[in-house]
Amino acid sequence: MPQLSLFLIVKDRFETPIEDCFMSRSQRGLFELYRENPERADRLIFGRIAHPDRRGFLRGAGLAAMGAAIGAAIPFHRNMPAGFIPLALAESDDVIAGKDGLTILNDRPINAETPPHLLDDAITPTARHFIRNNGHPPVDVSAETWTLTIDGLVDTPLTLSIADLKAKFEVVERALTIECGGNGRAFFDPPAKGNQWTFGAVACSKWTGVRLVDLLKAAAVKDGAVYTAHYGADTHLSGDPEKRPISRGVPIAKAMDPNILVAFEKNRAPIHPMNGSPLRLVVPGWPGSCSQKWLTRIQLRDVVHDGAKMTGTSYRVPNRPVAPGEKVDKADFVIIHAMPVKSLITSPQSGLQGADRSIEARGHAWAGDRTVKSVAVSIDFGATWSEATLDDPVNPGAWQNWRAAVDFPGPGYYEVWARATDDHGMSQPHAIAWNPKGYLNNSMHRISVTVA
């Protein structure tokens, strides 16, 4: 069998130490991954699907994932031994079933980002949507048996199936942007711990579901409620059932935003297993950690939620600007709410050689709870700027697409810089606003181009 051309890229700084014998900045192909630990490879690529007798190991999400990767059902899947690589998969370039071209940053849990040039679509295809997990995804993700509970400070607690959601509430479709709060962490100096995201922990797909506010109104939220608490079916990396990998929430005022969805489809198809199938929250404009995957419960509380990764310094930044490397007391950290204004150049791909004297640059821009007012482009290291053509968002919560004609004065090396400004006059900085946890890097994106 041929060696796959796509490798697992494992970077050298992690929030959780990498398990087994993975070395820093190492590259591992699919065959090597299976050769060293086939059961672990099964879990990584297809979910935790190994069966104790090493036969009939495919079931649930794992079976669906492998079938999706191959493009057909597997009638004799019960006879397939653990650690077996189907020939059709071995001859392809896909490492994560249903994903295309993603760079894996961590495998415990699995996290993967999308190179900027693969985010060129106005609506992000499911195959290009990044993966951000905090624990092990659940094995049983049957949409037919899944339920969502809404309880706590409500007059009418609800337990709803996905069929109930579709039948009892208005179903809507929205293009919504999700961005990890740590997107851009790889460029912090001194480094910040955690997944070393570069540019690709962002996406804007079409989500179908029901408005969270409609569910909260049906449950009749009591006056004393101040915060939501979100719970999912994923499990803690330690295997301890008493621990949760993540459980975050939002202030009640944000929860009433009609753009927040409880989603059961993405791009008019079932949600990808690694992106929260069969049910998840989508909270546009706020850190992606608020958008709980594999959603099973929303609790209304009379205090700020204190679930996993809601306390300490998780998804928090200092309440003031700090110098790079400065120590900050935990009491001086505040919870991240809306994400800052940001833009991305998706075409041309950085490193373009032999470019024409005139090209089109394009990409996307977004601004948390705000809208983007303008995008400007520079080819002379920020000395002068020209306005790009900027589209309105297709709906609130969606990123905005932009394009600009770029004319180079002659042959040589150039950098194309992009700078977005929101409707409150806030623009992207050139330098990173450093913080200890590596959040909210919205510095200007730039690419290199060599003109023939």
Confidence of residue 50 (pLDDT cuts 50, 70, 90): very low
- Quick one: average pLDDT of 319-343? 97
The rounded distance, in Å, linking the Cα atoms of 351 and 349 is 6
Residue 435's pLDDT is: 98
Q: Which of 35-39, 125-129, 208-212, 327-331 has the lowest mean pLDDT?
A: 35-39
Residue 86's pLDDT is: 64
pLDDT tens, 55-83?
444 555 556 666 665 667 777 777 776 65
The answer to whether the Cα torsion of 46, 51, 57, 58 is positive or negative is: negative
Rounded to the nearest integer, the mean pLDDT of the chain is 87
pLDDT at 54 over 50: no
Q: Which of 119-128, 135-144, 334-343 has the lowest mean pLDDT?
A: 135-144
Domain 147-335 has CATH 3.30.470.20: no
pLDDT at 328 over 70: yes
Domain 342-451 has CATH 2.60.40.650: yes
Choose among 320, 315, 324, 246: nearest CA to 287: 315
Predicted TM-score of the model (pTM): 0.82
pLDDT at 216 over 90: yes
Choose among 282, 292, 368: nearest CA to 133: 292
Longest dimension (CA), the chain: 69
- Quick one: average pLDDT of 244-270? 98
Residue 63's pLDDT is: 64
Six token digits for residue 119: 């985010």
Residue 253's pLDDT is: 97
The answer to whether 207 and 174 have CB atoms below 8 angstroms apart is yes
Q: What is the residue whose two structure tokens read 């190492």?
A: 26
Torsion of CA 61, 63, 64, 67, to 10 degrees: 160
The rounded distance, in Å, linking the Cα atoms of 325 and 329 is 13
The rounded distance, in Å, linking the Cα atoms of 197 and 75 is 39
Six token digits for residue 192: 């910040």
How large is the C-alpha radius of gyration of the chain?
Answer: 22
Choose among 235, 188, 242: nearest CA to 47: 235
Residue 104's pLDDT is: 86
Confidence of residue 156 (pLDDT cuts 50, 70, 90): very high
Task: Please give the C-alpha separations between residue 241 and each of 71, 319, 326, in angstroms, as whole numbers.
Answer: 34, 34, 37
- Quick one: average pLDDT of 260-274? 96
Six token digits for residue 63: 């079976």
In the chain, what are the domain boundaries?
Answer: 8-98, 147-335, 342-451
pLDDT at 28 over 90: no
CA atoms within 13 A of residue 447's CA, in its CB half-sphere: 26
Q: Which of 13-22, 116-125, 156-165, 416-425 has the lowest mean pLDDT?
A: 13-22
Six token digits for residue 255: 């929860």
Tell me the pairing of strands 147-152 and 158-161.
antiparallel
The answer to whether 317 and 334 have CB atoms below 8 angstroms apart is yes
